[in-house]
Structure 1
Amino acid sequence: MDGGQNSAGCGSFERGSLEPGLKLGSKPGLTPGFAIAATILAVTLWGFSPIGTRYMVGSGFAGVPAMAFTGLRYTLAALVFSPLLWQARHWNRRDWALGLICGLVGVAGYNIPAALGQRSVSAGLTGLLDGVEPLFIVLFSAIAQRRFPAPLTIIATFIGLTGVVLLAEGSGPALGDPLGDALVLLAAMLWAIYCVIVPALINRRGALPTTAVTVMFGAIPMLLSGLPQMPDMLVSMTGEEWLVTITLTLGTSVIAMLAWNAGSAVLGAEKAGWYLYLLPVVSLIGGASLLGEPVRLWELAGGALVLLAVYLSQR
């Protein structure tokens, strides 16, 4: 990623250029309060996503091919968004190029390594590794804007990371291996880059068509990569596996993507990114409520530090 201006306009993102109201399509959209609500909705849905993905691709579970599953999931999402592509018919070449970059980096670039990594990395550990995304966003935002992060931002970053560490300590032994961990961290880094470059496009063209275009471009390489194994996977999937797939598609690939794009365009990459610290907290709550996992004192302390970091980041 280049912090300066390039042909796709990735370097044009500036916090000061963001509008107080977001254009979802062609009409004024979210206020800051609704943008925060949309961002929290997206993070909440994503917090439960590793459980479903791990169930589908993890060894010892359904064990479907990771690339075929990811390709199916985002092909379905692209079909859901396809009617909205009509709103992008007047885009110029610069916006199409930026949409392509965002789709490859944030959709395919995140989901391919994440799915491959989750074959050997537990859902809980995936949520904890995703907790470093706000740190990456702070770093890439500083590069894009050619500025050093504010002192309070640095303090909030370390408080949030401390909270993630406490959550990790409380989670007990977590399944993972170095390659799987590296793939999940690579996915987190690419998602952070997406978070920095996509708001400029959303503010110019609207959240609905931008989400449709980026999901379409991101789905293409995932479909091509998974196509060889997809026919066998489709005929062997059970009703329960189809239910998980459709739920993940609608919840995390459609609703969460749209909610995140809408919220982050109003809040800015950094302010929206802080809410990603809530991913491990959501995973903790999900594990306790759905799987009956015990909640320990240091996990509560870690969750409190995460919430404090999010609060400080908004000051």
Structure 2
Amino acid sequence: MKRGMGLLVLATILWGGNYICGRYLSEAMPSTLLNTTRWGISTLILVGLLNLNKKKLPIVTMWKEFSILGFTGIFAFSTLTYMALGNISVSQAGMISSGIPISILLFTPFILKEKVSMRAWIGAGISILGVIVLFLGKSGVAALDGSLLGNVQVVLACLAWGIYTVIGKRYGKKHDSLTLTAGSALYGTIFSAISCIGTVEPSMVSMNGTAWVSLLYVSTLASVGAYLAWNAGVKILGASQAAPYLNLLPVWTVLFGILLLKEQVSFVSWLGGFITILGALIASVNKEFISSMLHRKIAKDTQM
């Protein structure tokens, strides 16, 4: 059980590191080229894992599924996130990204036709209020001129990830997660590559040592490594108990932003981040998760 929890925490830490590296890379290359390179490398690794498991990637027969997932989760989400990191601080982006569980919640009844509890809707409302407060706050590098644009880009990225997650859940009933992820990565890379045509020039690329290390990180640990850790953790604990761990992502991004990038967060941004995370927790922490944590506490107290 502890191993499953550790894997889920590790996955969120690796995803949190993606924001830090994205910040460094935002000055080294255009976001579309970064996303193309990142997922191009990740696709090769994922296809290699499929081959090791003696599975083939149905590129043609599943073109519809891969196109939708690739566009929303790989192209739109990642590109918008990297664009935002060129306009706002990692801390601000991480706080707004804590609304991802709410985005998933909003699309669930429309796409999966599943009922959403009143408690979850209340949590969603609180989280949305927190995002509004975040829009009013100024953090990081003295409120860059593009801060409003950056905030909007993160919100759009959250919506894209919500669609990707909910649709992926539907497709996941018929196909394994590794195949879906590899196919999504391939098609997402193609969309990213197309977006580079006519918009990216060699003069826009300025790589240094830190940028190369960051690119290696986002292409391996933040993509494949986090994916493997998350799915292994979900397999041990179950999807319902794993979902609340996503709320750790904004915690890591803010912490990394402060420690590694020396970012300063305003009081209004702290307040907005707290409200957003609180709302997400209320919406995503289910009875099964709480019951499981209580059972572990009782079992631990009994052993003492």
Distance 1:189 1:33, change over 3 A: farther
Q: 2:47 aligns with which of 82, 95, 100?
A: 82
8 Å CA contact retained: 1:71, 1:227: no
1:134: Cα distance to partner?
1.1
SS in 1 for 2:88: coil
Distance 2:79 2:45 in 1: 20
8 Å CA contact retained: 1:66, 1:116: yes
Distance 2:87 2:96 in 1: 14
Percent identity of paired positions between Structure 1 and Structure 2? 28
Distance 1:312 1:125 in 2: 23
Distance 1:183 1:272 in 2: 27
Structure 1: segments with no counterpart, 5+ residues: 1-31
SS in 2 for 1:204: coil
Query: What is the 5 A alignment of 1:48-197?
Result: 48-57=17-26, 62-86=27-51, 87-89=54-56, 91=58, 95-158=62-125, 174-175=143-144, 176-197=146-167
Distance 2:59 2:33 in 1: 33
Distance 2:40 2:231 in 1: 19
8 Å CA contact retained: 1:160, 1:306: yes
Distance 1:33 1:144, change over 3 A: farther
8 Å CA contact retained: 2:91, 2:258: no
Distance 1:264 1:171 in 2: 34
Aligned to 1:9: none
Distance 2:138 2:14 in 1: 22
Instruction: Give a deviation string over 1:204-246, Cα, whole Å, max 9, x none.
Output: 3322222211111111111232366365566x42222111111
The code of the aligned residue for 2:64 comes to A
Distance 1:237 1:291, change over 3 A: closer
1:108: Cα distance to partner?
0.9
Aligned to 1:7: none
Higher relative contact order (CA 8 A, sep 6+): 2
Quick check: 1:40 aligned with 2:3? no
Distance 1:293 1:237, change over 3 A: closer
Aligned to 1:8: none
SS in 2 for 1:127: helix
Aligned to 2:297: none
Aligned length: 278
TM-score scaled by structure 2? 0.73
Instruction: Identify which range, 286-295 or 250-259, moves more after superposition.
Output: 286-295
Q: 2:216 aligns with which of 246, 260, 279?
A: 246
Aligned to 1:207: 177
8 Å CA contact retained: 1:42, 1:256: yes
Distance 1:38 1:201 in 2: 24
Distance 1:40 1:174, change over 3 A: farther
Distance 1:296 1:184 in 2: 19
1:171: Cα distance to partner?
5.1
Structure 2: segments with no counterpart, 5+ residues: 291-304
Aligned to 2:299: none
TM-score scaled by structure 1? 0.71
